[in-house]
Amino acid sequence: MARSELTITPELLDHLSNLAKLKLTEEEKRIFIRDLNRILEYFNVIDEVDTSGVDQVFHILGLTNTMREDEVGGEPLSQEQALSNAASKEEGYIKAPRMV
Amino acid sequence: MSGLQVKIGLECHCQVTSLKTKMFCRCSSDYRGKPPNVNVCPTCLGLPGSLPYLNRRAVEEALKVALALNCKINRKMVFYRKNYFYPDLSKNFQISQYDFPLAVDGYVTINVNGREKTIRIRRVHMEEDPGRLVYKGRIDTSPYTLVDYNRMGIALIEVVTEPDMESPAEAKAFLEELRSILEHLEVSDGSLEGSMRCDVNISIAGGTRVEIKNISSFKDVEKALAYEIMRQRNLLRMGREVKRETRHWDEVRGITVALRAKEEEMDYRYFPEPDLVPVEISDDFIEKVRSSLPELPSARRARLVEQYNLTEYEARVLTADKQLADFFEKLASIHGKPKVDCSVVINELLRLLNEKNIEVRDLKFTPKEVADLLFMVDEGVVSWKSAKYILRRMVETGEHPKKIAEAEGIRRISSVEEIEKFVSKVFEEHKGDVEAAIKDDKVIHRLVGEVLKETRMLADPKITFQVVSKRIRELRAERGLASA
Amino acid sequence: MVNPLTLTAKEIAQQVSSGSLSALDVVELYLDRIRRLNPKINAFITVAEEQARRAAEEVDKAVKKGFRGRLLGVPIAVKDVISTKGIETTCASKILRGYVPPYDATVVKRLKAEGAIVIGKTNMDEFAMGSSTELSAYGPTRNPWSLDRVTGGSSGGSGAATSARMAPTSLGSDTGGSVRCPASFCGIVGLKPTYGVVSRYGLISYACSLEQIGPMTVDVEDCALLMEVISGRDGFDSTLIDYEFRWSYEGVKGLRIAVPKEFFSEGTDERVLESVWRVIKLLESNGAVYEEVSLPLSRYALAAYYIIAMSEASSNLARYDGIRYGMPYDPSLPWHEAFSKVRGEGFGLEVKRRIILGTFALSAGYYGRYYLKALKLRAMIRDQVLSLLKRFDVIATPTTPFPPFKLGEKIEDPLSLYMADIDTVVANLAGVPAISIPAGLVDGLPVGAQFMANYCREDVLLTVAKCVQDETHFDKLVPGVAKA
């Protein structure tokens, strides 16, 4: 495929991997430029269908209005449980990386 | 340069503090003052496999707000995911709304310096509050970040205005009105820390739109706007460009700072939240909620003017804070002199609250005790001047006014006999003034002042004046002088 | 002595209930099989040896006190995408290595309440993204029928474990065929329920609007038994509909079968087609009628499915950032770099591919053309399926277009792997229930026939399956490796 025909260019791939917070290796980028454009080409089959006037689906069976009462309950976790899977913690807080 | 037109739009995030639980899970909504990460469950902690479940009351509360803001209610409301990464978001997306928000196209009327103005509301929607980040020192130098998810998932109502405000004062007036509406609806208690937060958009003619994010209290909005207008005007005056950007309000330094990071390249990729179903809002339900709306600030102001004969200004000051207005009405119902009661509340009590930086709810006494104090004044037991002092002591100690008066020996001296004793003493000590007063009426006031001082201001000034005048008249008569 | 090669879950529960078998005996029996067979097959990521023994002892104690349950002492192999309290749950991903959920999925809670025992967590394609169970951070699962072949996926570990009788029953999850494809490749029964009848609470999301947890069993009645236990509302999953599972077998006389020609075209292996036709004719000989029909929009199903699934996945998988659970982040980096690094290293290639494509399909400028268009197409496909199901009780198709393929055969080419789902995704898009049942062997390898039915008509699917089981005794099919 000529580069001019690519939907997902290396620049767009960089943008997407930044949005998705996924650091890709050069090898992965090469594979993705190849695969993703092929897959998109396959996806473009949907262009054949005229969907104008069709409502998008939300719940596929059309379910609406599932709500609960405002009562405390559920499955509360203790601080120990909440932190049990965190790699790094301090005084009950979960430790995250620095912001800047 | 001050003539340059300013346009301000607001996005206000208000916590629904009237709920018992969070928006999408059954954790308590009462997260303040707790140790970190004790008010969480798999859902608000974003554990793999957890799912949201919508709180019905949250929808009702938001609907109240939308109706009070005169909005059109969408018959179908859908939640969307707003996708962005940030350490305070446990799922790295926020459940919010996009297409099909709860309500659109409302308005609020504000009043600045007696001039009425309508501010249009673009939309009202619901979303979840993120967690709280804690830094070691400043955000930009902290070596790591601490995260507390107790707040994650608290129900928020977002109110977005059109850019209809033209000065920081108008923005302030809008926010005060909004806060008062939310308090009258009993949806959100604006006095709780962080319960009302704001993003602002501002543009000056000749510049571009700048967004200031995350102003953590309504009070700071006016300051942030004033700073930003000054900054932009200075740039324009120097012929420099105002960049289209997002800035951060640094409340410690009182300035706005540019968010530099490249990571801020935003594309939120909104899409319908598949784990929740649409909410259909029926006409019946809307009418039910509408008919149950309490009296709102605008109606209350009109009533206060009508019922208590207050001025428009007084009514406005009172209703800016629902608790203050409630306090006044209770006081007036007990004491029964609305003009006096209003004056006490907005001049004396409000000044003390501001001075001590506390809220009405922090007061350790009720309107009943203030009424008792005013009855003491009415009965002449204490002077008006003493009453002000006692009120201050009440705010400080919460003691009953009678107890304060007793403990500090505060009473009103109004017996002629008792005052005469003080007068005699002063006349002894200020012979020169007495001589002068015999010749000149004006000096009588100086003597009255001395007597009052001698009584630690407890004596009734009127009676004191009468006693002093009488003595002077007697002295003149003794010397065969007519009145000066 | 009991024979695990013929023992059904129902029989185990009866024997434990009557006291002729202890739960611990049952657990030891299967643990022993796992010890011998798993090294060859790699069906389990985690064998919950200790927890299973402890649970069995608890069950035995409870039985003595009179406790009874529908799955008393029945070991269940649970796909590693379903949260199990106290048992590591990895989704076959490096990024979740070491994650021990502090809560049970609703289905697990319900199984335990009936006396069932989680014996282990089964292998799968990472985050259920795959159709071969080769894409696991813990190595591929091998097909018990031929160890150099794939099991299908993504619930290949559950398929292989059940087929090799390392567990009498198992649970899988089905987003686009992930229960039915491995059921077909491993020669067992796999049911994907109607969307919204089995709680997804605790099921680690890949594409939440499409997926359901489903039983994978040797025996049709066991499949019904599991459905009975795991279905129904739970107060944690707000996408659940009102549903009560009921089934009694009364034969297939008069059953109307639709045979859509698009699924029987030349793209599908002829031997697979022959097998499916044999099943249809067998049903016909038992009183069913069939008609060849057309489902023209099925041509677009695979593309619509992948667009929706990848879009949802890109958001569902955002939460894996190394802070709260799973692979730790690099503390020397600022947050956005730390996130990118842990996600770049923690996710496998296919997962990253789908996240990137999903991010693309939701991003500004492409949302309408891909995501929204796919949602609309989904509605059209659903309507076409439902209109067919007005005239017919079931729709018959192959489960997969080809028999189990060799390990590594399709791994380099994602598109050819996606094609494995071409016959199964329609049911997920439409939300209807679908079952795969063994349709015989092709060159010694199992292939499956798929039936779809109307919403909540799992009973019709089980009736079809039961009829075929009674005629062909597919429940007696045991791979050679399992007999040793």
Q: Give yes or no for residue C30 having a pLDDT over 70.
A: yes
Residues B52 and B174 reside in one and the same domain: yes
Task: Tell me the residue type at C271.
Answer: R
pLDDT at site B263: 43
pLDDT at site C473: 97
| Stretch B347-363: mean pLDDT | 93
pLDDT at site C3: 85
Task: Please confirm, yes or no, whether C79 is among the known catalytic residues.
Answer: yes
Q: Do A68 and B278 touch (CB under 8 A)?
A: no
Domains of chain A (ranges; CATH) run: 3-47 (1.10.20)
Number of domains in chain B: 3
How sure is the predictor about B260, in pLDDT bands with cuts at 50, 70 and 90? low
Given the residues C79, C94, C121, C410, select the one marked as catalytic: C79
pLDDT at site B264: 53
| Stretch B170-199: mean pLDDT | 94
How sure is the predictor about C48, in pLDDT bands with cuts at 50, 70 and 90? very high
Q: Give yes or no for residue B202 having a pLDDT over 90.
A: yes
Entry pTM = 0.92
Above pLDDT 70, what percent of chain B? 98
Selection from B215, B111, B104 nearest residue B159 by Cα: B104
Q: What is the pLDDT of residues B34-47, one digit of tens each?
A: 999 999 999 999 99
Asked if B279 reaches chain A (Cβ–Cβ under 8 Å), the answer is: yes
pLDDT at site A2: 52
Q: Do B91 and C318 touch (CB under 8 A)?
A: yes
pLDDT at site C38: 98
pLDDT at site B382: 85
Task: Tell me the residue type at C90.
Answer: T
Q: Do A57 and C378 touch (CB under 8 A)?
A: yes
Q: Do C200 and B144 touch (CB under 8 A)?
A: no
B483 within domain boundaries: no
| Stretch C56-80: mean pLDDT | 97
Instruction: Please count the other Cβ atoms lying within 10 Å of the Cβ belonging to residue B216.
Output: 14
Residues B61 and B157 reside in one and the same domain: yes
Element (H, E) at B28: none
The subunits that touch chain C, with at least 3 C-beta pairs less than 8 Å apart, are A, B
| Phi, psi angles (nearest 5°) of residue B315 | -60, -40
pLDDT at site C88: 98
From A34's Cα to the closest Cα of chain C, the distance in A is: 11
B149 within domain boundaries: yes
Given the residues C132, C163, C178, C436, select the one marked as catalytic: C178
Supply the Cα-derived Rg of chain A in whole angstroms.
Answer: 23
**Is the CB of residue B94 less than 8 Å from the CB of residue B82?**
yes
From C199's Cα to the closest Cα of chain B, the distance in A is: 10
Task: Look at strands C394-398 and C256-260 and give their pairing.
Answer: parallel
Residues B75 and B209 reside in one and the same domain: yes
Q: What is the pLDDT of residues B90-143, one digit of tens each?
A: 999 999 999 999 999 999 999 998 899 999 999 999 999 999 999 998 888 899
| Stretch C136-157: mean pLDDT | 98
From CA C287, how far away is CA C310, in angstroms rounded? 42
Residues B277 and B348 reside in one and the same domain: no
Query: What sign results for the dihedral spanned by CA atoms B227, B233, B238, B242?
Result: positive
| Stretch B63-73: mean pLDDT | 98
Residues from chain C that touch A12, judged by Cβ atoms under 8 A, are 360
Domain boundary among B262, B288, B314: B288
From CA B124, how far away is CA B129, in angstroms rounded? 15
Residues from chain A that touch B265, judged by Cβ atoms under 8 A, are 15, 18-19
Residues B143 and B247 reside in one and the same domain: yes
Q: What is the pLDDT of residues C465-474, one digit of tens each?
A: 999 999 999 9
β-pair partners for B201: B9, B211
**Is the CB of residue C217 less than 8 Å from the CB of residue C188?**
yes
Residues B118 and B190 reside in one and the same domain: yes
Residues from chain B that touch A84, judged by Cβ atoms under 8 A, are none
pLDDT at site C404: 98
Above pLDDT 90, what percent of chain C? 97
Q: What is the pLDDT of residues B273-312, one digit of tens each?
A: 999 999 999 999 999 999 999 999 999 999 999 999 999 9
Instruction: Please count the other Cβ atoms lying within 10 Å of the Cβ belonging to residue C364.
Output: 10
**Is the CB of residue B19 less than 8 Å from the CB of residue B155?**
yes
| Stretch C408-437: mean pLDDT | 96
Q: Give yes or no for residue B236 having a pLDDT over 90.
A: no
CA angle B248, B254, B258 (to 5 degrees): 25
Supply the Cα-derived Rg of chain C in whole angstroms.
Answer: 21
Q: What is the CATH number of the domain that holds B437?
A: 1.10.10
How sure is the predictor about B482, in pLDDT bands with cuts at 50, 70 and 90? low
Provide ipTM, 2 decimals: 0.97
Element (H, E) at A96: strand A93-96
Residues B402 and B420 reside in one and the same domain: no
**Is the CB of residue C201 less than 8 Å from the CB of residue B47?**
no
pLDDT at site B3: 59
Asked if B214 reaches chain A (Cβ–Cβ under 8 Å), the answer is: no
**Is the CB of residue C186 less than 8 Å from the CB of residue A53?**
no
Residues B219 and B368 reside in one and the same domain: no
E runs forming strands in B113-183? 115-128, 132-135, 145-148, 155-161
Residues B221 and B88 reside in one and the same domain: yes
From A81's Cα to the closest Cα of chain C, the distance in A is: 6
From CA C455, how far away is CA A14, in angstroms rounded? 43
Residues B109 and B130 reside in one and the same domain: yes
Residues from chain B that touch A63, judged by Cβ atoms under 8 A, are 277
The residues, any chain, with a CB within 8 Å of residue A11's CB and separated by 6 or more, are none
pLDDT at site B138: 81
β-pair partners for C442: C445
Task: Look at strands B210-215 and B246-250 and give their pairing.
Answer: parallel
Selection from B125, B130, B136 nearest residue B61 by Cα: B125
Selection from C370, C430, C380 nearest residue A55 by Cα: C380
pLDDT at site C131: 96
Element (H, E) at A25: none
Asked if B126 reaches chain A (Cβ–Cβ under 8 Å), the answer is: no
B484 within domain boundaries: no
Q: Do B269 and C359 touch (CB under 8 A)?
A: yes
Task: Please confirm, yes or no, whether C363 is among the known catalytic residues.
Answer: no
What does the mean pLDDT of chain C come to? 97
State the DSSP code for A5: G
Q: How far is CA B300 from the centre of its chain?
A: 17
pLDDT at site C1: 56
**Is the CB of residue B150 less than 8 Å from the CB of residue B129?**
no
Q: Do C98 and A85 touch (CB under 8 A)?
A: yes
Domain boundary among B257, B288, B319: B288
From CA C454, how far away is CA C387, in angstroms rounded? 10
Q: Give yes or no for residue C246 having a pLDDT over 80.
A: yes
Residues B58 and B33 reside in one and the same domain: yes
**Is the CB of residue B83 less than 8 Å from the CB of residue B73?**
no
Instruction: Please count the other Cβ atoms lying within 10 Å of the Cβ belonging to residue B418.
Output: 15
For the ranges B16-30, B201-215, B302-316, C385-399, the lowest mean pLDDT is seen at B201-215
Q: Which of A61, A94, A95 is the best residue to mutate to test the B interface, defined by the most B CB atoms within 10 Å of its own CB?
A: A94
Prior bond to C154 cis, omega within 30?
Answer: yes
Which residues span the domain enclosing B330?
A: 297-407
Above pLDDT 70, what percent of chain C? 100
CA nearest to A15 within chain B: B265
Locus of tokens 């077998």: C249
pLDDT at site B372: 95
Q: What is the pLDDT of residues C361-382, one digit of tens each?
A: 999 999 999 999 999 999 999 9
Given the residues C131, C136, C146, C154, select the one marked as catalytic: C154
From CA B121, how far away is CA B100, in angstroms rounded? 16
Asked if B259 reaches chain A (Cβ–Cβ under 8 Å), the answer is: no
Distances (CA, A) of C52 to C117, C216, C333: 6, 20, 41
**Is the CB of residue B74 less than 8 Å from the CB of residue B41?**
no
Q: Which of C357, C367, C369, C422 is the best residue to mutate to test the A interface, defined by the most A CB atoms within 10 Å of its own CB?
A: C357
Which class does domain C10-253+458-483 fall in?
alpha beta
Task: Tell me the residue type at B50.
Answer: S
Domain boundary among B266, B288, B310: B288
Selection from C105, C111, C107 nearest residue C72 by Cα: C111
DSSP code per residue over C121-185 = EE--SGGG--SSS---TT-PPEETTEEEEE--SSSHHHHHHHHTTSSSEEEEEESSSTTHHHHHH
The subunits that touch chain A, with at least 3 C-beta pairs less than 8 Å apart, are B, C
Domain range summary for chain C, segments of one domain joined by +: 10-253+458-483
Residues B210 and B68 reside in one and the same domain: yes
How sure is the predictor about B250, in pLDDT bands with cuts at 50, 70 and 90? confident
From CA B376, how far away is CA C370, in angstroms rounded? 77
Q: Give yes or no for residue B222 having a pLDDT over 70.
A: yes
Residues from chain C that touch A40, judged by Cβ atoms under 8 A, are 357, 360
Q: Give yes or no for residue B4 having a pLDDT over 80.
A: no
pLDDT at site B1: 39
Task: Please confirm, yes or no, whether C83 is among the known catalytic residues.
Answer: no
Selection from C232, A84, C89 nearest residue B48 by Cα: C89
**Is the CB of residue C191 less than 8 Å from the CB of residue C461?**
yes
Residues from chain A that touch B89, judged by Cβ atoms under 8 A, are none
Cβ-nearest to A64 among B36, B45, B280: B280
SS3 sequence, C394-455?
Answer: EEEEECCCCCCCECCCCCCCHHHHHHHHCCCHHHHHHCCCEEEEEEEEECCEEEEEEEEECC
